[in-house]
């Protein structure tokens, strides 16, 4: 068991714990304390002095197109997959992969294989079964079977609603999916979520409101994402958070004058709204295509979601005066709780050694995934099998 000692870390767990030393081994945090005793030389412990840098839990990105997204404007617009260092150099140590618009040319087998590949490269990786469309594509024949029998699959998503690219699911179809997710979660202890893509359609979250009003399903099952893409949609999402749903912001670029909130703006508005602090998560949509459509539904331009958007969002809100311990849960402990990942999202003894140390400018100075150093002093130390050095 290789052991790593982190000295002089200013720990945010996410609550501030002051200057601490941490001993990592076997992928876990073995010990943490303010006073450091001499360790036996026979342990051959590697030491990194963080010199007072802020140490955070590694980010949990619950919406990532690990196989690549896109495809709305032809096969040439399919986004390629990302290597492991694209995540780790952005401070992300856990990802949840999913399929989007293209759940035909890209399928669940490819998604699951990519998740396993990321695990072999040292990242924590999980996935949602299905994709935009109903009925969803599965591996076992049913979504409940996928969640019960395939360990890496933890929910259903991203099922599209209020979007011209969706299969226009009915309330009954949505309820059946949510019920399957919920029951499978009960059977397995997994998250059991229905992760919902929100388009910019005028119906907004109406289907979710109807589902909550007309069923016995707990609100936590419904996890709508992209809720900051329209300002009115964000207001709808705030009301759902008050009812018990966890809502997800997307860290996509927002232009001046656009009818949308940036993730940083939306996070500030959420924190100031009085909504429950634990019911907000932020994801990157990394690897996903960010298309803009004309009035006839044709793609007129597109971008690609970037993993680095999470760290950019955090630094943006910190520059606006939000305390780190207030902003950090949306990137760490909140998604860990929602995804039922008990060993992640917090810095404490026994937790997974997924850690991010920031430099003075807020960039990733050191990143450890499962106690293994992936980024050291701002330099990528571990790359994926087919990644090339710059």
The residues that bridge with 161 in the sheet, in sequence order, are 198
Is 38 one of the catalytic residues?
no
Q: Residue 199 pLDDT more than 90? A: yes
**Model confidence over 241-252: pLDDT tens digits?**
999 999 999 999
Taking each helix axis from N to C end, the angle separating 309-319 and 263-273, rounded to the nearest 10 degrees, works out to 50
Confidence of residue 291 (pLDDT cuts 50, 70, 90): low
- Residue 219 corresponds to which tokens in the numbers above? 């609100």
Can you give the pLDDT at residue 294?
66
Q: Range(s) for CATH 2.30.40.10 in the chain?
A: 3-56+344-380
Can you give the pLDDT at residue 223?
98
Alpha-carbon separation of residue 90 from 275, 277, 307, 343, 374 (angstroms): 28, 24, 6, 21, 11
Q: How many CA atoms lie within 13 A of 323 on its CB side?
A: 6
**What is the pLDDT averaged over residues 108-137?**
96
Plot region of 343 (φ>0 → left; ψ -120 to 50 → alpha; else → beta): alpha
More confident residue, 257 or 238: 238
Instruction: Provide CB contacts within 8 A for 330, sequence distance 6+.
Output: 249, 267, 280, 281, 282
Please give the angle made by the CA atoms of 232, 234 and 235, to the nearest 5 degrees: 65
Q: What percent of the chain has pLDDT over 90?
A: 83
Q: Are 195 and 227 in contact (CB under 8 A)?
A: no
- Residue 178 corresponds to which tokens in the numbers above? 């949510």
* Bond prior to 381 in cis (omega within 30° of 0): no
Domain 58-338, CATH: 3.20.20.140
**Model confidence over 158-168: pLDDT tens digits?**
999 999 999 99
Alpha-carbon separation of residue 384 from 59, 62, 83, 90 (angstroms): 19, 21, 6, 15
Q: Range(s) for CATH 3.20.20.140 in the chain?
A: 58-338
Cα distance between the two ends of the chain: 32
Q: How far apart are CA 323 and CA 333, in angstroms?
A: 16
Q: What percent of the chain has pLDDT over 70?
A: 97
Can you give the pLDDT at residue 311?
98
Q: Residue 121 pLDDT more than 60? A: yes
User: How much is the pTM?
Assistant: 0.94
Confidence of residue 38 (pLDDT cuts 50, 70, 90): confident
Q: How far apart are CA 155 and CA 137, in angstroms?
A: 13
Can you give the pLDDT at residue 81?
87
- Residue 181 corresponds to which tokens in the numbers above? 């997710």
Can you give the pLDDT at residue 201?
94
- Residue 18 corresponds to which tokens in the numbers above? 């002051």
Q: What is the CA 360 to chain-centroid distance, rounded?
A: 24
Task: Identify the CATH homologous superfamily for domain 3-56+344-380.
Answer: Urease, subunit C, domain 1 (2.30.40.10)
Q: Are 262 and 228 in contact (CB under 8 A)?
A: yes
Choice among 180, 265, 285, 316 that is catalytic: 285
Q: How far apart are CA 160 and CA 199, in angstroms?
A: 7
Q: Where are the alpha helices (DSSP H) in 150-188?
A: 171-188
The whole-chain average pLDDT of the chain stands at 94
DSSP-derived 3-state class of residue 59 = strand
Can you give the pLDDT at residue 27?
96
- Residue 47 corresponds to which tokens in the numbers above? 């030491």
SS3 of 325-347: the string is HHHHHHHCHHHHHHCCCCCCCCC
């Amino acid at each position: 068991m290789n052991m790593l000692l982190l000295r002089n870390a200013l720990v945010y767990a996410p609550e501030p714990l002051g200057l601490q030393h941490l001993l990592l081994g076997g992928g876990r945090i073995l010990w943490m304390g303010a006073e450091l005793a001499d360790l036996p030389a026979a342990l051959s412990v590697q030491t990194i002095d963080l010199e007072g840098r802020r140490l955070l839990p590694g980010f949990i990105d619950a919406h990532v197109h690990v196989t690549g997204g896109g495809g709305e404007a032809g096969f040439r617009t399919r986004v390629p997959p990302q290597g492991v260092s694209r995540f780790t150099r952005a401070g992300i140590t856990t990802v949840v992969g999913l399929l989007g618009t293209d759940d035909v040319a890209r399928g669940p087998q490819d998604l699951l294989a990519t998740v396993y590949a990321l695990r072999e490269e040292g990242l924590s990786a999980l996935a949602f079964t299905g994709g935009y469309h109903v009925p969803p594509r599965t591996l076992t024949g049913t979504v409940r079977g996928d969640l019960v029998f395939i360990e890496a699959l933890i929910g259903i998503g991203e099922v599209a609603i209020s979007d011209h690219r969706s299969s226009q699911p009915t309330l009954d179809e949505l309820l059946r999916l949510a019920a399957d997710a919920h029951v499978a979660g009960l059977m397995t202890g997994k998250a059991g979520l229905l992760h919902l893509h929100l388009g910019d359609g005028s119906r907004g979250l109406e289907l979710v409101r109807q589902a909550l009003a007309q069923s016995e399903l707990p609100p936590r099952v419904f996890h709508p994402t992209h809720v900051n893409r329209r300002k009115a949609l964000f207001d709808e999402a705030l009301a759902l958070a008050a009812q018990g749903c966890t809502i997800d912001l997307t860290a996509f670029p927002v232009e001046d004058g656009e009818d949308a909130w940036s993730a940083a703006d939306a996070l500030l508005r959420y924190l100031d709204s009085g909504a429950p602090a634990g019911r907000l998560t932020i994801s990157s949509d990394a690897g996903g295509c960010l298309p803009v459509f004309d009035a006839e539904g044709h793609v007129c331009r597109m971008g690609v979601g970037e993993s680095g958007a999470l760290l950019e969002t955090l630094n943006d809100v910190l520059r606006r005066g939000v305390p780190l311990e207030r902003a950090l849960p949306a990137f760490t402990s909140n998604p860990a709780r929602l995804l039922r990942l008990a060993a992640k999202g917090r810095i404490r003894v026994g937790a997974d050694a997924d850690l991010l140390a920031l430099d003075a400018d807020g960039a990733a100075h050191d990143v450890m995934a499962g106690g293994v150093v992936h980024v050291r002093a701002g330099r990528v130390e571990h790359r994926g099998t087919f990644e090339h050095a710059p």
